[in-house]
Chains A and B, each alone.
Chain A
């Protein structure tokens, strides 16, 4: 099954809704708690990134009994140096965003750690596309 959500790039108080919905769905389906947590951590981080840096976008979660594949796509400024963004602690978030408790690094390494498969495509002016796959019943949350 496929779940689709719009992620707002304007109202940060709503950021996290899409991942909360996906988490709820996984609970209803009886997905193993450790996999729910891995998915929640990865998707929440990606959703916050999309709201803060990407100006919002679309989140899609495709679920079957073995795995969940999450695709997050925005048309934001894109990431100019992916290698740098994949480093721990790197952040481009503005002062205002940091004051709200967000933006201490983009958390891309954290997303990768929690996912079984991680794919990112981004370039300046083109936006960012993220694909996160979590297989059920595989490993513990990080």
Chain B
């Protein structure tokens, strides 16, 4: 579970019925059904959470830390995503929600929304120096992985600035509690991919985040104490930072002319395809968030994304703006280069890959083209590639199997029709 192959998105084999719903929605064709269970191809998974969202049996899940994980630290700092604020009824203020976090076991809080303000400023300053766009936001880890896997030619368009989560964790470790080793920083997350990047970070060598806890796991504990939490000033984030919870929030925070905001992994792919074709030369910035309506649509949330967004929009009208100096001069730039991923290559050897590709094209011609999913692959084409690679037999296609059975049956009839020479009267005539 550790190392480069760690993914937050995993399968609960008990619950999986092998129904093939997830394989169709996966944007990177990273799932196959084998032996009646879904199987995730690690090298292709971008942790976008689409499969978690569509699985009718709740069998796709994200691995994250339990709330009890905070107990191993004396100082337990929650860094909540602004999405948390949209999960509860309108009459609970941000101050009270943050107060509730302190009641359920955390000893301190630093808002990711506050860090998002810094990241906004850093991003705007990077773009103003870096020249013409379009520049792509690196805030969504699934989008960054999508670029690495499917659009590596666009990696040099990524804004090389750490995420608000990482920035918040650094502020806690470097400014609020410098030099301490009894401090645990926990991201309160709407997002499965954030779990993955807290272990295998993007653009930095190691993450300052100690654990990631799902919003849906703190939802009930917070709800239970919320009515008893008094209003007191804790929140410091402004509208600019809070807006990062939903699509268009980051673009608004950057205030750049000609920005595109796109939410939902499939529409993002459309925008990146166009960008790779050389379109959108006059666009300065692309904000892309993999989940519907942005982070509020994350797979680890409870509330409907559009309701949550409306609530956060309302909160943005009552900004706190209670800034402190501990956030100055925090390093926000990437320290390592993001590499292309080879997950979609058919073989490390190009000539061999070409042979596989050609064979797959020939196999594809012979398939029904119904993309029925019975073989466990998302499309006939993906299946043809799997067969050409030698991962699976052609008869895993139910139509191919039927064809073979028919041929076999015809052969049987043919064999049956041949009589032993002594009994064969079919050519018998008077000439004998």
Chain A interface (Cβ < 8 Å from any Cβ of B):
1, 16, 19-20, 23, 25, 27-31, 33-34, 36-37, 40-41, 44-45, 63-65, 110, 114, 141
Contact = CB atoms under 8 A, between A and B. Distances in A.
A29 B358 contact: no
B292 interface: no
B357 interface: yes
A30 B348 contact: yes
A139 B184 CA distance: 47
Given A45-B278, A110-B278, A141 B353 contact: no
A1 B344 contact: no
15 contacts: A19-B277, A20-B273, A27-B344, A28-B353, A29-B357, A30-B347, A30-B353, A33-B152, A33-B153, A33-B155, A34-B153, A36-B153, A41-B277, A65-B354, A141-B153
A35 to B, nearest CB: 9
Given A1-B357, A1-B358, A30 B350 contact: yes
B386 to A, nearest CB: 13
B350 A29 contact: yes
Contacts of B357: 1, 25, 28-29
A141 B351 CA distance: 24
B278 A41 contact: yes
B293 to A, nearest CB: 26
Contacts, number: 63
B345 interface: yes
Question: Residue among B153, B155, B273, B350 with the most chain A CB within 10 A?
Answer: B153
Contacts of A16: 273, 277
CB-CB nearest 5 A-B residue pairs:
A37-B153, A41-B278, A33-B153, A44-B277, A33-B152
Interface residues of B, number: 23
A63 B147 CA distance: 24
Interface in B335-362: 340, 342, 344-348, 350-351, 353-354, 357-358
B76 interface: no
A20 B150 CA distance: 12
Contact of B340 (A19, A29, A33): A33
Contacts of B154: 37
A44 B354 CA distance: 22
Nearest to A23: B276
Nearest to A141: B153
B351 A65 contact: yes
Given A28-B346, A29-B346, A33-B155, A40 B351 contact: no
Majority DSSP secondary structure for residues of B touching A: helix
B154 to A, nearest CB: 8
Contacts of B346: 28-30
B276 A40 contact: yes
A110 B347 CA distance: 32
Contacts of A63: 354
Given A20-B273, A27-B150, A30-B347, 13 more contacts: A16-B273, A28-B344, A29-B346, A29-B357, A37-B154, A37-B276, A41-B276, A41-B277, A41-B278, A44-B278, A64-B354, A65-B350, A65-B351
A63 B278 CA distance: 22
B94 to A, nearest CB: 42
A29 B320 CA distance: 53
Contact of B345 (A1, A29, A40, A114): A29
A1 B385 CA distance: 16
A141 B153 CA distance: 9
B354 A1 contact: yes
Contacts of B350: 29-31, 65
Question: Residue among B276, B277, B344, B385 with the most chain A CB within 10 A?
Answer: B277
Contacts of B347: 30
Nearest to A142: B278
Nearest to B357: A28
Contacts of A19: 277
A57 B154 CA distance: 30
A110 B277 CA distance: 11
Interface string B378-406: 00000001000000000000000000000
B350 to A, nearest CB: 5
B196 to A, nearest CB: 22
A59 to B, nearest CB: 14
A40 B351 CA distance: 21
A37 B245 CA distance: 32
Contacts of B342: 30
Interface string B97-120: 000000000000000000000000
B275 to A, nearest CB: 10
Contacts of B385: 28
A125 to B, nearest CB: 30
Interface string B303-329: 000000000000000000000000000
A41 B150 CA distance: 16
B353 A29 contact: yes
A33 B153 CA distance: 4
Interface string B10-52: 0000000000000000000000000000000000000000000
A34 B157 CA distance: 12
A22 to B, nearest CB: 11
